[in-house]
C-alpha cells in the first residue's frame, strides 16, 4: 500500500494529450492533470475557484487553462486566477520520470481529512 | 474660356498628373482622357494581389466614375488614339474622329516585351500587364494545370506566386543565375529562391528558353539544354519597352522613350509626357515611384507654375508577395570604392546588406526582415554621412539612431521629409499635415486623402503608427480591433493571410503572424481552428485541443459538469422506433431529465461524461446521429407540416426542411446556424427569425436570411424569391458558404450581414449566378469532409478515447488511512 509521502505512478505521459487534460478520481474530489504543448505536466483540483467548473474540460494554452463554464483563466503552475478576477485553485505536485506521470500522494489523502 | 487638355492614357501616370493639376489649377483646363482599356483608372501595380486572390478588382480602382464626373473630366474609355497632328494641334481616334487640343499629355506607358522565339504566338502564351491578362490567367487556372513563367524579375515572380495561389503547378525560367538580379544580390536571390521553392514553385535559374511547343495551344517549353517543361500557360515577363509608337509617328523626338526635359516637355512645346513612356536624362523607368515626381513636374508646367522640375528618381523595390519581405534600393553591385556591411541570420532567413560609398549608403538589400528599410532608404536619399554610427548601423534605427526600440518613438523621430509610402511617394509631413488639417481618424481616410498605403499596403503599419503618434488615444479607438490580446491582427486580416500565404496549421499561423503568446488563448485558438477548417477543407486536420469542450466531446456541458445529448431529428420528424430507443437510453443510463427543445427535437439532460460513448452507441444503433446541438455549425431545421397535412400549405415544407438539413448537417460555421421552413405565409415554423428561412408561397419560395431570436430579436432580411426546391438548396448552400468565408468567429449571421451589408450579400447570392454557383460548389466540396457523424467516430471508432475515461483512480488512498 502507498504511503503518504510516496509518489503515485499514474500513467504514461502520452496518456494525456498535448494541450489537454485528464482526470484522476481522488478521495477529496477529482484532480485534473494537464499536459502543455512543451510536455510539462501540472495538476490542480478539478474545480474552478469561481463556480466549480471542471477545469479539466477547458482549453489549455501555454501554461494556463480557461475554464469551460465562464472563461476564467487559471495559471497551472500556481493555481492562481489571472487578470482582474481573484481566487486560487489548489495545485497538486506532479512530475514526470522515465516517461511516466507521478503524483504526490500526501495532498490527495489529506484532502479527504 | 478654359483651355483644352487632352490626355492620352488612362493609366496611373495620366490620371495622377491630372489629379496634381486639379490640385494646382482647378478649372484652368477642360480635360479629356482617352484610355485604350475599357475600365476606369486602376492601380496597375496591384494586379499581382488580384491575381493571387488577395484583392478584388474594385479594391484597386484609383478613380471611379464619380471622380471623372465630379471633376467634369470626359473619359473616353476603350477609345484608342491612333494619330497626333502636332501642326494643327489635334488627335484622331481609330474611327477617324478628330479632337482638338491646346495642351496634350502623352502617358501611353509601356508595352510588355515578347521574346522572339518560335511558338510565341500560340494560344496560351501571354504577357502580364493589365486586368485582362489577370482575367485570362485566373480563367486558365480553372482548366489547366501547368504554367511556365519566363522571367524571374519582380513581375514574373509575382505572376508565378499568383498562379500558384490559383492552384497551378508553376515553373519560373530565369536567364541569369540570380532571381531579380537587378534588385537583389546573389545571397538575397538565393534566399528568395529557397522561399519560392518552399511554396511549391519550381525555379530554374541560368536557363534559356529555346522555343515554345504546341499545335494550336501551348503544350510545353523547351530549354536550350534540351529539357522540356509541360505547360498549358506561358506568361512572358521579361521586361517592358516604352510605348512610343504614337509619339514617334507624330514626329516627336524619341530615343528609347519620348525625350522630355525636367518639366516633362517634349520637343513640341504644347506636348508633355509622363510615365513609363518617357526618357529623362537618358533614363527610362519601369517602376511606379518615379511617376509621382514626374506628374508633379508636369502639373507645375501645365498650371504655368515655376516648379523645381523633375530631377530623376532614386528607386526602391518591394516584392508584392504576401509573406515574403524583401527590399532593395540604390546601387548594390559594389566596386573597388565601396564597402559592405552585412548581417546574416540563416536560421531566421534574414539577410541585410548595406553598400557604403564614401561613408554614405549607396545601396540596400534586405530579405526576411525589412523593418528598417524606410530609415535606410531615407539615409540613402539624403546622402547622410553615416560614419559616426557605422559599427551599429546595420542593426537598424533602434540601435544606431538612438534608443528607439519603441516603434512609435522611431516613427516620431523620422523627419518630415521621410518617405513613408514608396508606391505613392508620400512623405511623413504630408500624412501628418493631412491628419491634422482634415481631422482624419481612420486608416481608410488617410488612404483616401493622401494615398499613403493605398497601393501595395506594406506601409500600412507605419502609417498606423504615425496616426497613433499624431492622434494619441483618439486613433486607437478607431483601429481594427485585434482578434484577441495575443495578436494585433483583426479577424479579416488573419483570414486573408491564412489564404494568401497558404498557412495550414495553428502553430504556422502564430509563427507567421507573430503571435505574442506561446500557445494562444481560449479565444483565438478556436477561431483559428475554424478559419483553417474553412480555408482548407480536407487538407487541414481539425485540432480538437483547440475546440471548446462541447465541440470536443460533442455534447453540451451543463453547470454541474454533466452533459446533454440531442440526437438529430431531420426536419423535426421522428418515428416510434426512435422514440423507443431514446426512452430505453434514458432509462438504461438513469438520465435524470428528458425535455423537448425549441428546435423540434429531444434533449437528454444530465448524462455523465463517461457514459457518453455508450449512450451514443445505443442511439447510433437505432439509426440516429448527433444533432450538433452544441456546435458552431448547423443546429436544426424547423418545419411546419406543409401540403401533406395542412389545409393552408402551399409547398412540401417538411420535405424541403429534411432536404436542407441533409444538405447542411455537419458543416462548421462561425457561429450556430438555425433554419426553418414554413409552408405558407402564416409562418408556423417562425422562419423569419432564423439565420436562413424559407417561407413557401403559391409561386415558389421566399428566401430569408440574417434573422435571430436570441439576445437580440432580429427579423430576417429578404434574399429573393425562387421557383424550385433545387434553387432553394443552391441559394442556401451559397449563403451559408459566404458566411463561412467572411464571418468572424462567434459572429452570428445577422451581425455578419450588418457588417458587410445585406445588399452585398444579396448581390453575391441573388445577383451573381456564377458567383453563387461557385460558392455552392465550395460548400458541397467542404461537406464531403464534414459529414461524418462525430458520435459514431467516438462510440465505435476510437476517436479521442482519452476524453471519456479517467486517467486513474486513487480513491483507495482514503481507505488506506
Could you report the per-residue pLDDT of A68-94, keeping only the tens digit for each?
988 889 999 999 998 767 889 999 999
Mind telling me how many Å the CA of A3 is from chain B's nearest CA? 9
Range of the domain at A42: 7-108
Those residues whose C-beta lies under 8 Å from the C-beta of residue B394, and which sit 6 or more positions away, are: B341, B342, B343, B352, B354, B400
B268 vs B60, higher pLDDT: B268
User: Does residue A1 carry a pLDDT above 50?
Assistant: no
User: What average pLDDT is seen over chain B?
Assistant: 89
A102 pLDDT tier (thresholds 50, 70, 90) = very high
Question: Residue B298: pLDDT band by 50, 70, 90 thresholds?
Answer: very high
> With contact defined as beta carbons under 8 Å apart, do B193 and B324 qualify?
no
d(CA B791, CA B110): 62
Confidence class for position A111, pLDDT limits 50, 70, 90 = very low
pLDDT at B403: 44
This complex has an ipTM of: 0.87
Residue B473 forms contact with A (CB below 8 Å): no
In whole angstroms, how large is the CA radius of gyration of chain B?
Answer: 32
In the CATH scheme, what architecture does the domain B125-238 have? 3-Layer(bba) Sandwich (3.50)
Please indicate if any CB of chain A lies within 8 Å of the CB of B249: no
Question: What sign has the CA pseudo-torsion B165, B170, B175, B178?
Answer: positive
Q: How far is CA B444 from CA B435, B457, B463, B645, in A?
A: 12, 11, 11, 56
Task: Tell me what pLDDT residue B404 has.
Answer: 44
pLDDT, residue B457, reads: 63
- The most confident of B177-181, B323-327, B565-569, by mean pLDDT: B565-569
pLDDT score at A113 = 39
Interface with chain B: mutation pick from A3, A5, A27, highest number of B CBs within 10 Å:
A27
Count CB pairs under 8 A between chains A and B: 103
Note whether residue A2 is domain-resident: no
Residue B66: CB partners within 8 Å, gap ≥ 6?
Answer: none
Q: How far is A77 from chain B (nearest CA, A)?
A: 16
Alpha carbon of A32: minimum distance to chain B alpha carbons (Å): 9
Report yes or no: B817 and B567 within 8 Å, Cβ to Cβ.
no
Domain presence at residue A21: yes
Average pLDDT over residues B297-317: 86
Percentage, residues of chain B above pLDDT 70: 96
Cα-based torsion angle of the residue sequence B603, B609, B613, B618 in order, rounded to the nearest 10 degrees: -40
**A28-54: pLDDT as tens digits:** 889 999 999 989 999 999 999 988 999
Burial B754-783 (b: 16+ CB within 10 A, else e): eeeebeebbebbbeeeeebeebbebbeebb
B715-740 per-residue burial string, b: 16 or more CB within 10 A, e: under 16: ebbbbeebeebebbbbbbbbbbbbbb
Interface with chain B: mutation pick from A17, A61, A71, highest number of B CBs within 10 Å: A61
- Determine the pLDDT at residue B320: 73
Angle at B92 between CA B89 and CA B95, to 5 degrees: 165
Closest alpha carbon to B694 in B684, B682, B683, B703: B703
* Chain B residues touching residue A8 (CB < 8 angstroms): 808, 810
Q: How confident is the model at residue B474 (pLDDT cuts 50, 70, 90)?
A: low
Q: State residue B686 phi and psi, 5-degree precision.
A: 55, 45
Average pLDDT of chain A to the nearest whole number: 87
> Is B530 in contact with B778 (CB distance < 8 Å)?
no
Residues in chain A within 8 Å Cβ distance of B517: 61-62
Asked if residue A29 is part of any domain, the answer here is: yes
pLDDT at B406: 59
- Record: contact A58-B526, CB cut-off 8 A: no
Scan for cell 493605398, then name that residue.
Answer: B454
Asked which of B55-59, B347-351, B477-481 is least confident by mean pLDDT, the reply is B477-481
CATH classification at residue A61: 2.102.10.10
Which residue has cell 482526470? Answer: A23
Cβ neighbours for A38, distance < 8 A, ≥ 6 positions apart: none
Sequential DSSP letters for B369-392: --TTHHHHHHHHHHT-B-GGGTTT
Domains B3-110+242-303 and B550-630 are alike in CATH topology: no
Per CATH, the number for B634-786 is 3.30.413.10
Cβ separation A73–B522 shorter than 8 A = yes
The per-residue pLDDT for range B754-791, each reduced to its tens digit, is 989 999 999 999 999 999 999 999 999 999 999 999 99
Q: Domain-by-domain residue ranges, chain B?
A: 3-110+242-303, 125-238, 491-547, 550-630, 634-786
User: Is B807 in CB contact (< 8 Å) with chain A?
Assistant: yes
CA distance B565 to B629: 8
What is the band of B578 on the pLDDT scale with cuts at 50, 70, 90? very high
What's the grid cell of residue B18?
491630372
pLDDT digits (tens, 9 = 90+) for B323-345: 788 888 887 767 778 888 888 87
Write down the pLDDT at residue B684. 94
What is the 3 state secondary structure string of B127-182? ECCCHHHHHHHHHHHHHCCEEEEECCCHHHHHHHHHHHHCCCEEEEECCCCCCCCC
Q: B525 vs A62: CB contact, 8 Å cut-off?
A: no
How many domains does the structure of chain A reveal?
Answer: 1
Condensed to tens digits (0 to 9), the pLDDT of residues B220-269 reads 999 999 999 999 999 999 888 899 999 999 999 999 999 999 999 999 99
pLDDT band at B294 (very low <50, low <70, confident <90, very high): very high
CATH classification for the domain delimited by B3-110+242-303, as one of 3.20.20.105, 3.50.50.60, 3.40.50.150, 3.90.76.10: 3.50.50.60
- For residue B723, what pLDDT is reported? 95
Side-chain-facing half-sphere of B704: CA atoms under 13 Å: 26
Q: What is the pLDDT of residue A112?
A: 40
For range B670-696, the mean pLDDT: 96
Sign of the C-alpha dihedral computed for residues B581, B584, B590 and B592 taken in this order: positive
Answer whether residue A82 is part of any domain: yes
Which residues have a Cβ under 8 Å from the Cβ of B734 and sit 6 or more positions away?
Answer: B764, B765, B772, B773, B775, B776, B779
Question: A61, B517: Cβ pair inside 8 Å?
Answer: yes
Q: Which of B282-291, B358-367, B592-601 shows the lowest per-residue confidence on average (mean pLDDT)?
A: B282-291
Closest Cβ–Cβ partner in A10, A37, A69 for B807: A10
pLDDT in tens, B606-661: 999 999 999 999 999 999 999 999 999 999 999 999 898 999 999 999 999 999 99
Q: Which of B341-355, B487-501, B520-534: highest mean pLDDT?
A: B520-534
Whether residue B559 and residue A69 make contact (CB cut-off 8 A), yes or no, is yes
Q: What is the pLDDT of residues B442-464, one digit of tens each?
A: 887 888 788 887 766 667 778 88
Q: Decide if A113 is inside a domain.
A: no
Q: What is the rounded distance in angstroms from the CA atom of residue B616 to the CA atom of residue B588?
A: 12
Which among A26, A57, A68 has CB closest to B810? A26
Note whether B765 and B719 are within 8 A (CB).
yes
User: Is the model's pLDDT at B210 over the cut of 60?
Assistant: yes
pLDDT tens profile B798-808: 788 888 888 88
- Who wins on pLDDT, B430 or B468? B430
Coil/strand/helix, residue A45? strand
The percent of residues in chain A predicted with pLDDT above 90, rounded, is 67
- Closest partner CB to A1 (pick from B518, B548, B816): B816
With contacts defined as CB-CB under 8 Å, which chain A residues touch B559? Answer: 51, 69
Tell me the chain B residues in contact with residue A73 when contact means C-beta distances shorter than 8 Å: 521-522
Q: Best residue in B522, B529, B544, B801 to probe A by mutation, most A CBs within 10 Å?
A: B522
Query: The C-alpha cell of B628 is what?
Result: 450538433
Instruction: Give the strand pairing for B602-607 and B563-565.
Output: antiparallel
Could you tell me if residue A1 is inside a domain?
no
Q: Is the torsion defined by CA of B651, B653, B657, B658 positive or negative?
A: negative
For chain B, give the longest Cα–Cα distance.
Answer: 113
Residue B227 CA to residue B98 CA, distance in Å, equals: 53
Read off the pLDDT of each residue in B37-53 and give the average, rounded to a whole number.
84
Of A33, A57, A113, the CB nearest to B549: A57
Model-level pTM?
0.57
Distances (CA, A) of B717 to A70, A84, B411, B582, B683: 33, 40, 46, 37, 15
Q: Is the pLDDT of residue B722 over 90?
A: yes
Quote the distance between the C-alpha of residue B11 and its chain's center: 23
Which residue numbers of A have CB closer than 8 Å to B's CBs? 1-2, 8, 10-11, 15-20, 22-27, 30, 33, 36-37, 51, 53-54, 57-62, 64, 66, 68-69, 71, 73, 103, 105, 108-109, 112-113
Q: What is the pLDDT of residue B393?
A: 84
What is the CATH architecture of B550-630? Alpha-Beta Complex (3.90)
Instruction: For residue B526, give the nearest of B631, B635, B665, B666 by alpha carbon.
Output: B631
Using one digit for the tens of pLDDT, what is the confidence trace for B100-110?
999 999 999 99
- Distance in Å, alpha carbon of A67 to nearest chain B alpha carbon: 9
pLDDT at B378: 85
Q: Which residue has the higher pLDDT, B106 or B379?
A: B106
Segment B808-817 shows an average pLDDT of 73
pLDDT confidence tier of residue B586, bands split at 50, 70 and 90 = very high
Residue A59 lies in a domain: yes
Amino acid at each position: 500500500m502507498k504511503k503518504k509521502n510516496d509518489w503515485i505512478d499514474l500513467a504514461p505521459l502520452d496518456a494525456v494529450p498535448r494541450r489537454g487534460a485528464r482526470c484522476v478520481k481522488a478521495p477529496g474530489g477529482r484532480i485534473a492533470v494537464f499536459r502543455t504543448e512543451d510536455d510539462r505536466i501540472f495538476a490542480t483540483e478539478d474545480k474552478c475557484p469561481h463556480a466549480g467548473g471542471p477545469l479539466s474540460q477547458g482549453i489549455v494554452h501555454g501554461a494556463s487553462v480557461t475554464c469551460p463554464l465562464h472563461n476564467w483563466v487559471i495559471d497551472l503552475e500556481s493555481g492562481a486566477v489571472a487578470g482582474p478576477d481573484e481566487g486560487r485553485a489548489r495545485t497538486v505536485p506532479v512530475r514526470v520520470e522515465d516517461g511516466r506521470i507521478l503524483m504526490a500522494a500526501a495532498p490527495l489523502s489529506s484532502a479527504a481529512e | 474660356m478654359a483651355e483644352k487638355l487632352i490626355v492620352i492614357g488612362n493609366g496611373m501616370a495620366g490620371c495622377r498628373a491630372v489629379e496634381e493639376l486639379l490640385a494646382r489649377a482647378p478649372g484652368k483646363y477642360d480635360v479629356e482622357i482617352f484610355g485604350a482599356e475599357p475600365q476606369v483608372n486602376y492601380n496597375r501595380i496591384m494586379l499581382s494581389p488580384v491575381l493571387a486572390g488577395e484583392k478584388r478588382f474594385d479594391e484597386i480602382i484609383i478613380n471611379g466614375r464619380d471622380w471623372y464626373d465630379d471633376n467634369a473630366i470626359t473619359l473616353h474609355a476603350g477609345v484608342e488614339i491612333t494619330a497626333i497632328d502636332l501642326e494643327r494641334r489635334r488627335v484622331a481616334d481609330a474611327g477617324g474622329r478628330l479632337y482638338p487640343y491646346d495642351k496634350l499629355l502623352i502617358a501611353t506607358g509601356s508595352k510588355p516585351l515578347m521574346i522572339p522565339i518560335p511558338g510565341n504566338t500560340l494560344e496560351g502564351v501571354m504577357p502580364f500587364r493589365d486586368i485582362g491578362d489577370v482575367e485570362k490567367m485566373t480563367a486558365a487556372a480553372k482548366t489547366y494545370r501547368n504554367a511556365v513563367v519566363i522571367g524571374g524579375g519582380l513581375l514574373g515572380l509575382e505572376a508565378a506566386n499568383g498562379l500558384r495561389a490559383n492552384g497551378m503547378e508553376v515553373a519560373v525560367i530565369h536567364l541569369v543565375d540570380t532571381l531579380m538580379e537587378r534588385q537583389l544580390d546573389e545571397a538575397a536571390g538565393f534566399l528568395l529562391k529557397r522561399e519560392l521553392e518552399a511554396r511549391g514553385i519550381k525555379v530554374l535559374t541560368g536557363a534559356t528558353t529555346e522555343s515554345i511547343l504546341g499545335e494550336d495551344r501551348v503544350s510545353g517549353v523547351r530549354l536550350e539544354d534540351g529539357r522540356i517543361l509541360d505547360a498549358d500557360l506561358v506568361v512572358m515577363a521579361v521586361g517592358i519597352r516604352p510605348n512610343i509608337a504614337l509619339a514617334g509617328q507624330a514626329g516627336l523626338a524619341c530615343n528609347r522613350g519620348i525625350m522630355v526635359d525636367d518639366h516633362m516637355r517634349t520637343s513640341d512645346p504644347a506636348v508633355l509626357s509622363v510615365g513609363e513612356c518617357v526618357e529623362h536624362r537618358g533614363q527610362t523607368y519601369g517602376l511606379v515611384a518615379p511617376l509621382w515626381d514626374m506628374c508633379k513636374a508636369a502639373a507645375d508646367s501645365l498650371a504655368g507654375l515655376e516648379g523645381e522640375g523633375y530631377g530623376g528618381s532614386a528607386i526602391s523595390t518591394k516584392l508584392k508577395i504576401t509573406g515574403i519581405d524583401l527590399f532593395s534600393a540604390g546601387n548594390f553591385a559594389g566596386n573597388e570604392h565601396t564597402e559592405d556591411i552585412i548581417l546574416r541570420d540563416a536560421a531566421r532567413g534574414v539577410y541585410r546588406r548595406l553598400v557604403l560609398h564614401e561613408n554614405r549608403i549607396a545601396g540596400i538589400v534586405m530579405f526576411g526582415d525589412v523593418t528598417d528599410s524606410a530609415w535606410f532608404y531615407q539615409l540613402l536619399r539624403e546622402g547622410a554621412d553615416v560614419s559616426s554610427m557605422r559599427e551599429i548601423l546595420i542593426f537598424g534605427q533602434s540601435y544606431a539612431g538612438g534608443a528607439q526600440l519603441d516603434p512609435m518613438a522611431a516613427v516620431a523621430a523620422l523627419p518630415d521629409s521621410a518617405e513613408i509610402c514608396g508606391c505613392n511617394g508620400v512623405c511623413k509631413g504630408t500624412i501628418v499635415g493631412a491628419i491634422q488639417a482634415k481631422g482624419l481618424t481612420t486608416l481608410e481616410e488617410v488612404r483616401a486623402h493622401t494615398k499613403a498605403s493605398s497601393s501595395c499596403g506594406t506601409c500600412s503599419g507605419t502609417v498606423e503608427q504615425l496616426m497613433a503618434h499624431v492622434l494619441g488615444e483618439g486613433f486607437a479607438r478607431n483601429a481594427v480591433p485585434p482578434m484577441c490580446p495575443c495578436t494585433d491582427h483583426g479577424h479579416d486580416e488573419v483570414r486573408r493571410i491564412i489564404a494568401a500565404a497558404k498557412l495550414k496549421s495553428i502553430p504556422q499561423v502564430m509563427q507567421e503572424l507573430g503571435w505574442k503568446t506561446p500557445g494562444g488563448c481560449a479565444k483565438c485558438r478556436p477561431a483559428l481552428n475554424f478559419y483553417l477548417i474553412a480555408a482548407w477543407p480536407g487538407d487541414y486536420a481539425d485540432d480538437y485541443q483547440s475546440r471548446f469542450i462541447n465541440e470536443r466531446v460533442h455534447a453540451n456541458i451543463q453547470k454541474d459538469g454533466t452533459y446533454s445529448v440531442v440526437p438529430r431529428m431531420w426536419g423535426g420528424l421522428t418515428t416510434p422506433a426512435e422514440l423507443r430507443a431514446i426512452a430505453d437510453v434514458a432509462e438504461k443510463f438513469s438520465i435524470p431529465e428528458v425535455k423537448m427543445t425549441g428546435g423540434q427535437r429531444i434533449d437528454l439532460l444530465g448524462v455523465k461524461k463517461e457514459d457518453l460513448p455508450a449512450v451514443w452507441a445505443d442511439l447510433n444503433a437505432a439509426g440516429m446521429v448527433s444533432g450538433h446541438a452544441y456546435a458552431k455549425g448547423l443546429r436544426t431545421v424547423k418545419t411546419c407540416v406543409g401540403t401533406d397535412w395542412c389545409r393552408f400549405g402551399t409547398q412540401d415544407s417538411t420535405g424541403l426542411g429534411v432536404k436542407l438539413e441533409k444538405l447542411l448537417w455537419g458543416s462548421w460555421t462561425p457561429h450556430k446556424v438555425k433554419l426553418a421552413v414554413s409552408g405558407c405565409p402564416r409562418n408556423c415554423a417562425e422562419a423569419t427569425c432564423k439565420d436562413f428561412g424559407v417561407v413557401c408561397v403559391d409561386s415558389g419560395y421566399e428566401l430569408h436570411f440574417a434573422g435571430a431570436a436570441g439576445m437580440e430579436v432580429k427579423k430576417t432580411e429578404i434574399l429573393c424569391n425562387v421557383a424550385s426546391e433545387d434553387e432553394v438548396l443552391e441559394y442556401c448552400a451559397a449563403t451559408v458558404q459566404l458566411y463561412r468565408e467572411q464571418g468572424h468567429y462567434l459572429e452570428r449571421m445577422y451581425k455578419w450581414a450588418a457588417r458587410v451589408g445585406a445588399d452585398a450579400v444579396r448581390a453575391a447570392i441573388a445577383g451573381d449566378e456564377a458567383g453563387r454557383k461557385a460558392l455552392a460548389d465550395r460548400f458541397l466540396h467542404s461537406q464531403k469532409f464534414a459529414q461524418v457523424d462525430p458520435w459514431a467516430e467516438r462510440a465505435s471508432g476510437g476517436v479521442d478515447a482519452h476524453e471519456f475515461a479517467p486517467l486513474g483512480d486513487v480513491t483507495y488512498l482514503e481507505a488506506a488511512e
